Chains A and B, each alone.
Chain A
Amino acid sequence: MERPKIAMVLGAGGLRCVSAFGALAVLRREGIDVDMVVACSGGAAVGYWIAAGGTDIPEGIARYTEGMAHSFGSLGVRRVLRALLPRWLGYSPRGGLMKDQRFNRYMAAELRGVRFEDLQVPLHFVAADVHSGEQVVLSSGPVFDAMRATLAIPLLLPPWEVDGRLLVDGGICNPLPVDVAMREGADIILAMGFEDPLQSELDSSVALIRQVLAVSSNHLMRAQFAFHSMAHHAEVIPVIPDFGQQVGLRDLHLIPHLVRQGELATERELPYLRRLLQAQLVQPAEATA
């Protein structure tokens, strides 16, 4: 009797992705193992931690917090000027508005020598090719390059080159990549997705940009999710935490709250997940009888 293959899909969502630790805590309590992780953007760091066989959840959260504290440098003056005056200073799509040297050094040190092939649980990161717009699934080679690519928040962090392709955050083409888990043969998919909160006041051009991005990516996530849930046979359980407030990338003090909400959202889906696991365990036995 074969156990159903369980995938955890962690969607784009910046700091909110830390709530995946809450989900993981619930699964651990229930003795449910994750057989595969697919992550995009902010979900990548948690995804890696799970795939590397992390066991101590509080320690995992502490490391995640430390990583986030390193991740965002200040705005680079020269970078901002380049974006504003492309003709004079020479613009390159390889640039971003933020300095990323410190972040790169920190991550490279953390992930030195780690390859996807060495991980305990199969891991897939989703990025997007800046030039062709295609989705790129990264499942082999050095984890550092793949993680840096999927974390490249458009315009803020510079894109990252992997195998000759310039890649950015996969959120722009597939913010909750359940289809990758389906393709990899998952039977049950826990899909942790985050809608971008809408702005309550449109009082600056930054608020305007955020609103356009939020509206587009929410539509994209819903449309893709609707299609994949309908067209495929895998069971998809959406886990959508409700944080009740805006969460910025620097709101590290909110992490305990975010984790707790992830835990609660997963607990809400637990009765269904349990039923599903039982049914899937019984079915093959009946078939052979």
Chain B
Amino acid sequence: MAATLTMAATTAMANTLPTAPPSVSLVIGSGSVKCAAAIGVASVLREAGIRIERVVGCSGGALFATLIAMGHDADTARDMTLRLWTKDITARRNNHALLSALAPKLMGFKASRFGLRDDRHINRRLQEAFGDARIEDMPVPLHITATNFMDGELVDLSRGPVAPAIRASLAIPFAFAPVELDGQLLVDGYVSDPLPLSVAIKHGARVIVAVGFESPMMEEIGSAGRFAMQLSSIMSNNLLRARYAFNSVAHHAEVITIIPEFKKRIRLFDTDKVPYIIEAGTQAAREQIGYLRRLLDQDRAIAAAA
């Protein structure tokens, strides 16, 4: 009797499974404005009838992960990006920070306030764009990653207000002040993992679409600051590769990596190139979609047979 019931349940499951839409987890790594390519990737997935079951974003990727989790279509997401990410948001220097770095005792150096760029503008923009929206209320489950600056560990923000979470994920050390959230001092997620596949894997992802970027190497190293940036790029590229390699070997999730190719050079504030970046993401995703479809069909056939 029990056996028959189990059989019936299995058959019912097998019958329902293939009709459920195929789905993937989308992970968007750090890469500043280049992360806008994820908007193109998401629209290709949508066109192909592939559901995004979870989206994870790090640093610049956190912003676009949020736009995708909110369910915005490509045009809306593009327009929101163009309104949010403009040159003037970080144009102002934070002179107090500069002074406190030179005379820490006298000026009262505080790590939680230290950033060479004034961040009031960017905070206001994020507030305007996202208001009091909360991560746990998104139509698509959203995870934003940051780094706990005191113990160095990756922090997976999956609840709470979205605006400060994005701001924390974007807190490039030295440029922007860290963000205090729930008693933790948080900085940019790329410091602990530039492409946080582990978050999707931890939540049981079977198929992951990863949009990742290596930091470009500089052609000209014209100042100590640029030298330091070059070092940080070298470290984070190596971290990206090592983490990626480890996750590929250690876990059973299938990872499909989409690395858009940019023929033009893209700098931090080249927001006029956002439409071009999205198009590059669309192209790169189209090249992978055939393989992704086959993979998902196979996966569902296996699930159905079981």
The answer to whether A223 touches B173, judged by C-beta atoms less than 8 angstroms apart, is no
CB < 8 Å neighbour of B149 from A86, A209, A211 = A211
Q: Which of A214-267 contact B (CB under 8 A)?
A: 214-220, 223-224, 226-227, 230-231
The stretch that binds A, out of B74-82, B159-167, B238-246, is B238-246
The stretch that binds B, out of A47-55, A57-65, A200-208, is A200-208
> Is A181 positioned at the interface, with any CB of B under 8 Å from its CB?
no
The answer to whether A214 touches B152, judged by C-beta atoms less than 8 angstroms apart, is yes
Q: Which of A88-147 contact B (CB under 8 A)?
A: 91, 93, 128, 130-133
> Is B30 positioned at the interface, with any CB of A under 8 Å from its CB?
no
> Is B133 positioned at the interface, with any CB of A under 8 Å from its CB?
no
> Is A4 positioned at the interface, with any CB of B under 8 Å from its CB?
no
Alpha-carbon distance A212/B150, docked complex (angstroms): 10
Alpha-carbon distance A154/B233, docked complex (angstroms): 13
Residues of B within 8 A of A215 (CB): 147, 149, 152, 191-192
The answer to whether A155 touches B242, judged by C-beta atoms less than 8 angstroms apart, is no
> Is A83 positioned at the interface, with any CB of B under 8 Å from its CB?
yes
> Is B217 positioned at the interface, with any CB of A under 8 Å from its CB?
yes
Taking the closest CB of chain A, its distance from the CB of B213, in whole angstroms, is 14
The answer to whether A220 touches B238, judged by C-beta atoms less than 8 angstroms apart, is yes
> Which residue in chain A gives the minimum CB-CB distance to B248?
A227
Residues of B within 8 A of A230 (CB): 246, 249-250
CB < 8 Å neighbour of A219 from B191, B217, B218 = B191
The answer to whether A172 touches B152, judged by C-beta atoms less than 8 angstroms apart, is no
Total interface residues on A, using CB and 8 Å?
41
Residues of B within 8 A of A168 (CB): 231
Taking the closest CB of chain A, its distance from the CB of B226, in whole angstroms, is 8
Alpha-carbon distance A82/B232, docked complex (angstroms): 20
Alpha-carbon distance A108/B193, docked complex (angstroms): 40
CB < 8 Å neighbour of A132 from B191, B217, B221, B239 = B217
The answer to whether A216 touches B249, judged by C-beta atoms less than 8 angstroms apart, is no
Alpha-carbon distance A224/B237, docked complex (angstroms): 12
Q: Which of B181-234 contact A (CB under 8 A)?
A: 187, 191-193, 217-218, 221-225, 227-228, 230-234
Residues of B within 8 A of A209 (CB): 174
Residues of A within 8 A of B228 (CB): 154-155
Taking the closest CB of chain B, its distance from the CB of A41, in whole angstroms, is 13
> Which residue in chain A gives the minimum CB-CB distance to B224?
A83
Taking the closest CB of chain A, its distance from the CB of B225, in whole angstroms, is 8
Q: Which of A185-215 contact B (CB under 8 A)?
A: 198, 202-205, 207-209, 211-212, 214-215
The answer to whether B243 touches A207, judged by C-beta atoms less than 8 angstroms apart, is no
Residues of A within 8 A of B238 (CB): 133, 172-174, 220, 224
The answer to whether B234 touches A133, judged by C-beta atoms less than 8 angstroms apart, is yes
Shortest 5 CB-CB distances between A and B: which pairs? Answer: A202-B111, A83-B224, A215-B152, A223-B242, A86-B223
Given contacts A203-B109, A212-B174, A223-B242, 16 further A-B contacts (CB under 8 A): A83-B224, A86-B224, A91-B224, A128-B234, A130-B221, A133-B234, A154-B227, A155-B231, A172-B238, A174-B238, A203-B111, A205-B174, A215-B191, A215-B192, A216-B235, A223-B243
